[in-house]
């Protein structure tokens, strides 16, 4: 009876050695050559499963009893001498690592039954500690010179009760670090992927214990799949042992999920449907109508958001520089014009997106920070913020104007270089944040004043504004025909909603599903949100269009027209950033059709949108030209001219003293054709900016 299990055990080891010999000869040979630099053998779970009947039994046992299986595999390697090092000795520690598990467990669905089983979890790395050595086998010495070995586990350090040598009574032992065995270790915290969360649930986290050659491999913001054994540890509250246990994952292997849109699975049926849609001549209209259909109008904005979802192409240059492909859009509008609703809808549509409000976000919460807390046992750890978590997706930031100045400047690097650098507390790291930013803000004084200067009413620094590819001014002007349409649209949506709610409670006679569908038609998206996400993912994955000659000429022509090179004295209207924006938008426009070529129609569509934007923010009605200086520097060309003339006038009147009466200056400057109130504004601006002062009332002096 006693021998039965042994025979069986030996058999398991034999099974493993057969499997390794047949499938992993090359890897074992590589390990033999490269040990100790390489000391991990990666075994693909699918190979185990496909290894006949025995394979299925082995695979099942791995999930149920991983600790024993890892020992079996190690025994198989040892007994069959599958790995021989250069000097012919047996290698001491080879890590057996399993990858490619078929079933992923959600972090929030881990239960007590999973303890000590092999699980695979997927998520984003939230925090990492530094890599530090951890003691595994501690060797102690007693005053008589005997040595005692005590194995250490994760968590608290365990000291032996006394000397292990027979007859020795010494209790006080000394740790001998030189004879003890250490292993590299690191602690990670992983958080659920945002795309799995619907409806504002708080993402849950799990701590991971990483050892040996896996430590130091990943950084915050990486998307990873971690396979390992779930362990539990008793919680100790204020020195008291609790009945509640904490769980952590003893990491066996890490797979870094680099491919951005792979998590959206597209089957053949969906692919056919996407291809069919892309050939539809009305595709642009359908896509625009599928963005927030419950919001009436705002066609241009919806089209821009659709282009943003598809995005341009990120280009890696041979010299190592990178041109961003993400399109940044800013919506500035009066309250009650459904900006936040648009943002929330985009988060629902994009295969990967994060929504955050500027009012409650700090620079650390948006970008990344080094924190000191109990997670790293009091050491500094690196924590990723929202823009890092939205890597390869869309970050929707609401209420951007309510952010603190310092927090807003954290966006600069993230938008243009698409990376975030942290240098704090001895941690210097660069994290990736390749996301498109969709911002929303309110005007400075609550609502737009149609007759005021638009740039004065946007409470955002020009350096940030110039990084947005498209800026939309959404004003709420009363206009009877449009207001009536909006009112009808809103009431229709509400009344249909009421009908559905009532019908659910007590079915209303005569109300069929068809009738409800008919009523809902105006507020239903043309493309179902689920299919829309797949469409975006498919386009980003498989479509990389190129500029055609006609489209290139059209874009360059429009750019030159904007620059208006003919008049040297005109405000320099547009920077090279606008041309880059045009190219990115044209790429996105071609991607919507899944086309490999950017046609003239794409260029024209994009020029129309950019033109509509620039007309709102940078159109100088007096000269009939675009004055991008308004946006880029916050001071229009006309204002700058007036300031120069005022300074000259003060110098003329005041001579060496550079002081003059304010009324005299106003008279002198207005004689040159400037309006008196504009001159007054210019003088105020000089005083405000500290370029001049008022030593006595009514006297101005240049500083």
Q: What average pLDDT does the chain have? A: 77
- Residue (of 112, 141, 28) closest to 77 by Cα position: 28
Per-residue confidence (pLDDT) for residue 542, from 0 to 100: 81
Tell the CATH topology of 268-477. Answer: Rossmann fold (3.40.50)
Task: Specify the pLDDT at position 5.
Answer: 42
Q: How far is it, in rounded angstroms, from Cα 521 to Cα 526?
A: 9
Q: Coil, strand or helix: which one is 206?
A: strand
What residues contact 551, with CB distance under 8 A and at least 6 apart?
A: 586, 598, 599, 600, 602, 603
Report pLDDT for 190: 87
Could you give the CA distance from residue 268 to residue 183 in angstroms, rounded to a whole number? 47
User: What are all long-range contacts of 568-571, with beta carbons under 8 Å and residues at least 24 apart?
Assistant: 570/623, 570/625, 570/637, 571/620, 571/625, 571/627, 571/628, 571/629, 571/636, 571/637
Bond before 110 cis per omega within 30 degrees: no
Q: In this structure, what token pair is assigned to residue 392?
A: 């390869």
Q: Is 644 helix (H, G, I), strand (E, B) or coil?
A: helix
Q: What pLDDT does 7 receive?
A: 40
Residue ranges in the chain modelled with pLDDT below 50: 1-10, 199, 260-261, 565-573, 621
Q: Which helix (H) or strand (E) holds 231?
A: strand 223-237
In the structure encoding, which two tokens stand for residue 248, read together?
């952590």
Segment 93-128, tens digit of pLDDT:
777 888 888 888 888 888 888 888 888 888 888 888
Instruction: Name the pairing type of β-strands 394-398 and 353-357.
Output: parallel
11 vs 589: CA distance, rounded Å: 61
Length of the chain: 703
DSSP state string for 558-610: HHHHHHTTT-TTS-----HHHHHHHHHHHHHHHHHTT-SEE-HHHHHHHHHHH
List, in sequence order, the alpha helices (H) in 350-438.
Answer: 363-366, 386-389, 405-416
Q: Domain 637-702, what architecture?
A: Orthogonal Bundle (1.10)
Strand duo 40-44 + 95-99: pairing: parallel
For the chain, give every domain's residue range: 3-99, 107-256, 268-477, 482-524, 543-630, 637-702
The domain made up of 3-99 has a fold known as mini-chromosome maintenance (MCM) complex, chain A, domain 1 (3.30.1640)
Half-sphere exposure of 130 (CA within 13 A, CB side): 13
Q: What integer pLDDT is reported at residue 566 of this predicted model?
A: 37
How much is the pLDDT for 498? Answer: 81
Residue 494, SS3 per DSSP: helix
Fold for the domain defined by 543-630: Helicase, Ruva Protein; domain 3 (1.10.8)
Helices (H) and strands (E) in the chain, counts: 24, 28
The owner of tokens 């650390």 is 364
Question: H or E segment at 504?
Answer: helix 480-505
DSSP readout, 235-271? EEETTEEEEEEEEEEEEEEEEE---TTTTS---HHHH
H or E stretch including 431?
A: strand 427-432
Termini Cα distance of the chain? 103
How many alpha carbons lie under 13 Å from residue 368 in its C-beta half-sphere? Answer: 33
Cα separation, 265 vs 609, in Å, equals 32
Tokens of 403: 């952010």
Would 3-99 and 107-256 be classified into the same CATH topology? no
Task: Report the run of H or E that residue 274 belongs to, with start and end.
Answer: helix 268-278
Q: How far apart are CA 361 and CA 396, in angstroms?
A: 12
Alpha helices in 283-425 (DSSP H): 283-289, 299-310, 339-349, 363-366, 386-389, 405-416
pTM confidence score = 0.67
Question: What is the distance between the alpha carbons of residues 380 and 80, in angstroms, rounded to a whole number?
Answer: 45
Assign domain 107-256 one CATH number from 2.40.50.140, 2.115.10.20, 2.40.40.20, 1.10.287.110.
2.40.50.140
Cα 161 to Cα 167: distance, rounded to the nearest angstrom: 14
Task: Report the pLDDT value the prediction gives residue 572, as an integer from 0 to 100.
Answer: 36
* Beta bridge mates, 431: 420
Among 576, 577, 572, 308, residue whose Cα is nearest residue 416? 577
Element (H, E) at 29: helix 25-34
Pairwise CA distance, residues 39 & 90, whole Å: 12
* Structure confidence by residue, pLDDT tens digits, 636-673: 666 667 778 888 888 888 777 778 888 888 888 888 77
Tell me the sheet residues that pair with 323: 315
């Amino acid at each position: 009876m006693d021998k039965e299990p042994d025979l069986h055990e030996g058999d398991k080891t034999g099974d493993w050695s057969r499997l390794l010999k047949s499938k992993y000869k090359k890897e074992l040979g590589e390990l033999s050559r490269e040990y100790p630099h390489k000391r991990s053998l990666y075994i693909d779970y699918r190979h185990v499963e496909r290894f006949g009947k025995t394979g299925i039994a082995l695979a099942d046992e791995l999930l149920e009893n991983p600790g024993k299986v890892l020992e079996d595999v190690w025994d198989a390697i040892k007994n069959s001498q599958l790995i021989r090092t250069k000097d012919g000795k047996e290698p001491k520690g080879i890590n057996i690592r399993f990858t490619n598990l078929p079933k992923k467990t959600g972090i929030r669905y881990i239960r007590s039954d999973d303890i000590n089983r092999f699980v695979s979890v997927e998520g984003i790395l939230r925090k990492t500690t530094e890599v530090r050595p951890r003691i595994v086998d501690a060797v102690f010495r007693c005053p008589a010179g005997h040595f005692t070995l005590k194995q250490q586990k994760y968590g608290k350090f365990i000291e032996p009760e006394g000397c292990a040598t027979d007859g020795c009574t010494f209790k006080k032992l000394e740790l001998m670090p030189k004879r003890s065995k250490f292993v590299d270790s690191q602690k990670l915290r992983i958080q659920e992927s945002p795309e799995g969360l619907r409806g504002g649930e708080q993402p849950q986290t799990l701590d991971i214990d990483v050892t040996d050659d896996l430590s130091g491999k990943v950084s915050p913001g990486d998307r990873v799949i971690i396979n390992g054994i779930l362990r539990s540890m008793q919680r100790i509250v204020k020195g008291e042992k609790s009945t509640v246990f904490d769980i952590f994952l003893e990491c066996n292997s890490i797979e870094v999920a680099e491919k951005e849109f792979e998590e959206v699975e597209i089957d053949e049926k969906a692919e056919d449907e996407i291809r069919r849609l892309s050939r539809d001549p009305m595709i642009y209209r359908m896509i625009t109508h599928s963005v927030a259909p419950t919001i009436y109008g705002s066609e241009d904005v919806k089209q821009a958001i659709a282009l943003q979802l598809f995005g341009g192409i990120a280009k890696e240059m041979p010299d190592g520089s990178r041109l961003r492909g993400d399109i940044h859009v800013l919506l500035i509008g009066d309250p009650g014009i459904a900006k936040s609703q648009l943002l929330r809808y985009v988060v629902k549509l994009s295969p990967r997106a994060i929504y955050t409000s500027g009012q409650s976000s700090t620079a650390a919460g948006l970008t990344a920070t080094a924190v000191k807390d109990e997670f790293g046992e009091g050491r500094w750890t690196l924590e990723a913020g929202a823009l890092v978590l939205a890597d390869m997706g869309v970050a929707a930031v609401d209420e951007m104007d309510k952010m603190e100045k310092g927090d807003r400047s954290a966006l600069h690097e993230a938008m243009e270089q698409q990376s975030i650098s942290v240098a704090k507390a001895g941690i210097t790291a660069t994290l990736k944040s390749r996301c498109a930013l969709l911002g929303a803000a309110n005007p400075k004084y609550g609502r737009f004043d149609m007759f005021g200067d638009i740039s004065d009413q946007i409470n955002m620094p020009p350096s940030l504004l110039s990084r947005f590819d498209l800026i939309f001014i959404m004003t709420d002007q009363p206009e009877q025909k449009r207001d009536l349409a909006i009112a009808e649209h809103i009431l229709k949506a509400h009344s249909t909603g009421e009908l559905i709610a009532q019908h659910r409670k007590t079915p209303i006679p005569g109300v069929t599903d068809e009738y409800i569908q008919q009523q809902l038609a105006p507020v239903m998206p043309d493309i179902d949100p689920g299919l829309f996400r797949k469409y975006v993912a498919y386009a980003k994955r498989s479509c990389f269009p190129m500029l055609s000659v006609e489209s290139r000429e059209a874009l360059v022509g429009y750019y030159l027209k904007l620059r208006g090179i003919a008049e040297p004295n005109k405000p320099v209207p547009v920077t090279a950033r606008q041309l880059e924006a045009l190219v990115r938008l044209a790429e996105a426009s071609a991607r919507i059709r899944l086309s490999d070529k950017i046609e003239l129609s794409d260029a024209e569509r994009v020029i129309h949108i950019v033109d509509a934007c620039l007309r709102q923010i940078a159109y100088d009605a007096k000269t009939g030209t675009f004055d991008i200086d308004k946006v880029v520097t916050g001071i229009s060309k006309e204002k700058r001219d007036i300031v120069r003339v005022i300074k000259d006038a003060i110098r003329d009147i005041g001579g060496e003293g550079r002081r003059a009466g304010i009324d005299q200056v106003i008279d002198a400057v207005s004689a040159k054709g400037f309006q008196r109130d504009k001159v007054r504004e210019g003088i105020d601006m000089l005083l405000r900016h500290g370029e001049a002062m008022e030593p006595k009332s009514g006297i101005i002096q240049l500083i």
